[in-house]
Chain A
């Protein structure tokens, strides 16, 4: 039911005489007014457009425009609360420079001309076909996003793998979540967390690993704060390289040297062994021990030279044991770990006691600090290890819970599988049975899907710069602000490449495009997102997109049709969303990745997979929660087939970062976000309240360094790395405070690009770059 004010007034006109008596007439229902009648808006549900938390909002529409949002009290995620970005969602649709028609770069490169959709789609189809004909399927590419809806990502993967026969499809989630994916895949052989948001109420100790949750996942952080208020014994431990808003609320602020989290996690494991805190019964039943690659020269950092283009090492799991673990950990004594991390031995022992205490629920939380890390997969492994060896996993209040940064990093990048080596439901293009299953569901000839993985993101842009990739379509992301070491990927139109960019606003990425396509945003189209806790959330279109803007999935399907691949998208015009979703859903049914039916998603505030018989799953692998676990009690890691349905504990050593400060570049530089802005700011900077709160990027400088260099807040300073330089105002004693010798720059500001400084070193297992550690010099500008 939706009632608007006019209808209500009409109804009232008829019964006006009675209305005054409603509240005092015995037997009548004192209805007062409904919300819709109160404010004249028509309300519908949607998940928030920003981070991976997946807050429910109600969207209020009047005269075809979104006029307000409210935190959805019926959403189990946020229970009516939002953060400042969420409250300001409506304005992201109404920036005056919305892209409203397809634009083609004029001959000679200067300026843009409006063209029709038909011409634009034909041009894309022709360019893709030309490249296929001249250079083959490895020269076409698509770069999407964890902000793609499930429909967009599914259309893209089906078109690429099943139509173009290319695996050169990547999401920006490679820059964000790939290390977490590899962590879960290498240990549980199934992606995504076993825990869920109920852990925020059930847990006793919350360990932040390089995770400024107060700013990045504020609504979830508020759930922890509320737990702490009700249960004063609840503790927050903030393991961090700088003081943040999160530190302010922490019971212990544990400042470590950049990259030394690897040593700290091993140090905690060492103490768990030493203290006899290993849950031996759990380990014997559910865990196998593995060793992987440890040769630093072999694995490298993937920045330049041989390593940059060829990843030759293998990270095969070699059988190991608890006894060997003891030897492996012998080096990580509190004294040694103290030296590497900068923590005191007492602080390290405290963490050993926290993880080792069987009487308390322990939840580890992490996001970019651990994932954007040259050993991100290893760090993910080590955090999962801490929970495996103590048996603190798949139980309420005891879980490693990796947080996601984008609204559908889980739903689209990971579950649909838009990474260059993946297929839906955790399947891989390299596995013949997986390709066969996809070909069967998609109705394709056997052998259609290529088995060789495509380029991962950083390599994809390197290949574009080299000229090996000639045609690229970018949707819902802004790589010319967000790629690391940006100058390496500079691009000038007219260089023989063809780049199409679908977006809602002009950005530095549309600036270098050859063709711009205007997209529909958020509630301007029907959509599905999947959040951090495996919750799939559906929303309906609430308003028309502006001008000629169209949704990304439609754009993809129209190009496919023009290339003779219309058979891939043989859905009805009026109900294609549901038909596509139900087709996609077939991938996960019966394999532990069961999504709820489209009907059920429409009726609910999202459902957490696996959804079997209409019931969602709070704790995966746990008896009594997960319908795939047939045991009476305990856990069963049933997805880890090649480990004998046990989880793998990986031994992962400490290795230093790719670049460390020296005499010439004496400061550490870390980059990241702020509460008010989301990613590259293309939406949030167009919202007055958010822009005015944080109008420009700055560099946080420690008070002691500022005094020494005679720098004050607001003074322009130049940061110089081996790769580039940028001038920004200094911020001393600000919201975030780096320690002496460390700096921090937020990356949202396209006028002050943090990423001309950053290093494109990466975790060579997950191929996720490290935005958190490089060396710079600071000079007065």
Chain B
């Protein structure tokens, strides 16, 4: 089934820092741990992750730049890249804390039964070797490399061929997600 392919949805918010298990070998055995780390940081697939490290001096984008960077001593030592730099209406001057907040506490005020959207970690490919269709909308994540390439990318979604920069040549995006129309949403 061609469509659910692939990789995962992790990409949506994936690149969070602190993937202590992110290594270059992309060992799939690490996926469950990586997934659970991600789940702790997002309310649902598509929600902005909370910031898992303590406040640092300086601007977020110094470390979370377009390609990600090494930050020895903080979390995993890897700062994921900023996936939003090509998002219309956003730039490296956008205000990160409009959406990403620090946690100051681990308790709750009242219990909540909300169950967020979780996409399956692996989909099916149409046939072995077929390029997976993107399992998440492009919007907010136009910079594929931010999450799918580089050392801070989660192992299960790390691209094996990130030197080929025209991702959309082979990976179709879900229709409707980036060209919304009223037929699609009511």
Residues of A within 8 A of B36 (CB): none
Chain A nearest CB from B74 CB (Å) reads 19
In the bound complex, what is the Cα–Cα distance between A71 and B101 (angstroms)? 18
Q: CB distance A686 to B112 under 8 Å?
A: yes
Q: CB distance B3 to A19 under 8 Å?
A: yes
Q: CB distance A94 to B116 under 8 Å?
A: no
Q: CB distance A90 to B176 under 8 Å?
A: no
**How many residues of A sit at the interface, in one of the four size bands?**
35 or more
Q: CB distance B173 to A39 under 8 Å?
A: no
The answer, yes or no, to whether B30 is at the interface (CB within 8 Å) is no
Q: CB distance B93 to A225 under 8 Å?
A: yes
Chain A nearest CB from B118 CB (Å) reads 9
Residues of A within 8 A of B126 (CB): 19-20
- On whether A44 and B185 interact (CB within 8 A), knowing A96-B113, A694-B104, the answer reads yes
The answer, yes or no, to whether A80 is at the interface (CB within 8 Å) is yes
- Interface of A, secondary structure class, is mixed
Q: Flag B103-120 by CB within 8 Å of A: 1 or 0 each.
A: 111111111111111010
* Known interface pairs A37-B3, A94-B115, A245-B95; 14 further A-B residue pairs with C-beta atoms within 8 A, sorted by A's residue number: A32-B175, A33-B174, A39-B119, A43-B184, A72-B180, A91-B112, A91-B114, A96-B110, A97-B110, A222-B90, A222-B94, A225-B93, A225-B95, A540-B186
The answer, yes or no, to whether B1 is at the interface (CB within 8 Å) is yes
Chain A nearest CB from B82 CB (Å) reads 15
Within 8 A of B (CB), among A212-230: 214, 218-219, 221-223, 225-226, 228-229
Q: CB distance A80 to B115 under 8 Å?
A: no
The answer, yes or no, to whether A12 is at the interface (CB within 8 Å) is yes
Chain A nearest CB from B18 CB (Å) reads 16
A selection of 25 A-B contacts at a CB cut-off of 8 Å is A1-B186, A2-B186, A23-B172, A31-B175, A34-B175, A43-B184, A43-B185, A44-B185, A68-B47, A70-B46, A70-B139, A73-B178, A82-B99, A90-B43, A94-B113, A96-B112, A214-B95, A228-B93, A249-B95, A689-B50, A689-B103, A692-B108, A693-B103, A695-B107, A695-B109
Chain A nearest CB from B1 CB (Å) reads 7
The residue from B107, B110, B173, B174 contacting A686, defined by CB atoms under 8 A apart: B110
Residues of B within 8 A of A222 (CB): 89-90, 94-95, 98
The answer, yes or no, to whether A330 is at the interface (CB within 8 Å) is no
Residues of A within 8 A of B63 (CB): none
Q: CB distance A80 to B114 under 8 Å?
A: no
The answer, yes or no, to whether A88 is at the interface (CB within 8 Å) is yes
Q: CB distance B127 to A1 under 8 Å?
A: no
Residues of B within 8 A of A360 (CB): none
Within 8 A of B (CB), among A85-106: 87-88, 90-91, 93-97
The residue from A30, A686, A693 contacting B104, defined by CB atoms under 8 A apart: A693
Residues of A within 8 A of B91 (CB): 226, 229
Residues of B within 8 A of A72 (CB): 180, 185
Within 8 A of A (CB), among B116-162: 116-117, 119, 126-127, 130, 133-137, 139-140
Within 8 A of A (CB), among B1-28: 1-4, 9
When C-beta atoms are compared, the residue in chain A nearest to B48 turns out to be: A87
Q: CB distance A695 to B43 under 8 Å?
A: no
In the bound complex, what is the Cα–Cα distance between A16 and B89 (angstroms)? 39
Chain B residues near A (Cβ < 8 Å) = 1-4, 9, 43-48, 50, 87-91, 93-95, 97-117, 119, 126-127, 130, 133-137, 139-140, 172-178, 180-186
In the bound complex, what is the Cα–Cα distance between A22 and B5 (angstroms)? 14
In the bound complex, what is the Cα–Cα distance between A637 and B103 (angstroms)? 50
In the bound complex, what is the Cα–Cα distance between A506 and B91 (angstroms)? 41
In the bound complex, what is the Cα–Cα distance between A88 and B127 (angstroms)? 37
Chain B nearest CB from A698 CB (Å) reads 10
Residues of B within 8 A of A79 (CB): 88-89
Chain B nearest CB from A690 CB (Å) reads 8
Residues of B within 8 A of A1 (CB): 183-184, 186
In the bound complex, what is the Cα–Cα distance between A675 and B116 (angstroms)? 22
Residues of A within 8 A of B46 (CB): 68-70
Chain A residues near B (Cβ < 8 Å) = 1-2, 12, 16, 19-20, 22-23, 30-39, 41, 43-45, 58, 60, 62, 65, 67-74, 79-84, 87-88, 90-91, 93-97, 214, 218-219, 221-223, 225-226, 228-229, 245, 249, 505, 540, 602-604, 675-676, 681, 685-695
In the bound complex, what is the Cα–Cα distance between A244 and B46 (angstroms)? 29
In the bound complex, what is the Cα–Cα distance between A68 and B102 (angstroms)? 21
- On whether A68 and B115 interact (CB within 8 A), knowing A30-B172, A693-B101, the answer reads no
Chain A nearest CB from B158 CB (Å) reads 21
Residues of A within 8 A of B137 (CB): 35, 38, 70
Q: CB distance A80 to B89 under 8 Å?
A: yes
Residues of A within 8 A of B174 (CB): 32-35, 37-38
Residues of A within 8 A of B114 (CB): 90-91, 93-94, 687
In the bound complex, what is the Cα–Cα distance between A225 and B93 (angstroms)? 8
Q: CB distance A218 to B95 under 8 Å?
A: yes
Residues of A within 8 A of B105 (CB): 691-692, 695
Residues of B within 8 A of A30 (CB): 172
In the bound complex, what is the Cα–Cα distance between A719 and B93 (angstroms)? 38
Residues of B within 8 A of A23 (CB): 172
- On whether A74 and B117 interact (CB within 8 A), knowing A229-B91, A676-B101, A695-B104, the answer reads no
In the bound complex, what is the Cα–Cα distance between A97 and B133 (angstroms)? 41
Residues of B within 8 A of A43 (CB): 184-185
- On whether A218 and B98 interact (CB within 8 A), knowing A20-B126, A689-B50, the answer reads yes
Residues of B within 8 A of A31 (CB): 175
Q: CB distance B180 to A68 under 8 Å?
A: no
In the bound complex, what is the Cα–Cα distance between A687 and B117 (angstroms)? 16
Chain A nearest CB from B133 CB (Å) reads 5
In the bound complex, what is the Cα–Cα distance between A2 and B182 (angstroms)? 11
Q: CB distance B186 to A34 under 8 Å?
A: no
Chain A nearest CB from B177 CB (Å) reads 5
In the bound complex, what is the Cα–Cα distance between A93 and B116 (angstroms)? 12
- On whether A32 and B3 interact (CB within 8 A), knowing A87-B43, A97-B110, the answer reads yes
Q: CB distance B112 to A19 under 8 Å?
A: no
- On whether A60 and B117 interact (CB within 8 A), knowing A72-B180, A80-B89, A694-B104, the answer reads yes
Chain B nearest CB from A691 CB (Å) reads 5
Residues of B within 8 A of A689 (CB): 43, 47, 50, 101, 103
The residue from B50, B111, B113, B177 contacting A692, defined by CB atoms under 8 A apart: B50
When C-beta atoms are compared, the residue in chain A nearest to B186 turns out to be: A44
Residues of A within 8 A of B101 (CB): 84, 675-676, 689-690, 693
When C-beta atoms are compared, the residue in chain B nearest to A687 turns out to be: B112
The residue from A20, A83, A93, A225 contacting B127, defined by CB atoms under 8 A apart: A20
In the bound complex, what is the Cα–Cα distance between A676 and B103 (angstroms)? 11
Residues of A within 8 A of B2 (CB): 19-20, 22
Residues of A within 8 A of B112 (CB): 91, 94-96, 686-688
Among A16, A39, A229, A689, max chain B CB count under 10 A is at A39
The residue from A16, A65, A69, A71 contacting B115, defined by CB atoms under 8 A apart: A65
Q: CB distance A96 to B111 under 8 Å?
A: yes
In the bound complex, what is the Cα–Cα distance between A180 and B171 (angstroms)? 51
Q: CB distance B89 to A38 under 8 Å?
A: no
Chain A nearest CB from B55 CB (Å) reads 10
In the bound complex, what is the Cα–Cα distance between A38 and B46 (angstroms)? 13
Q: CB distance B43 to A688 under 8 Å?
A: yes
Among A16, A36, A87, max chain B CB count under 10 A is at A87
Among A74, A214, A693, max chain B CB count under 10 A is at A693
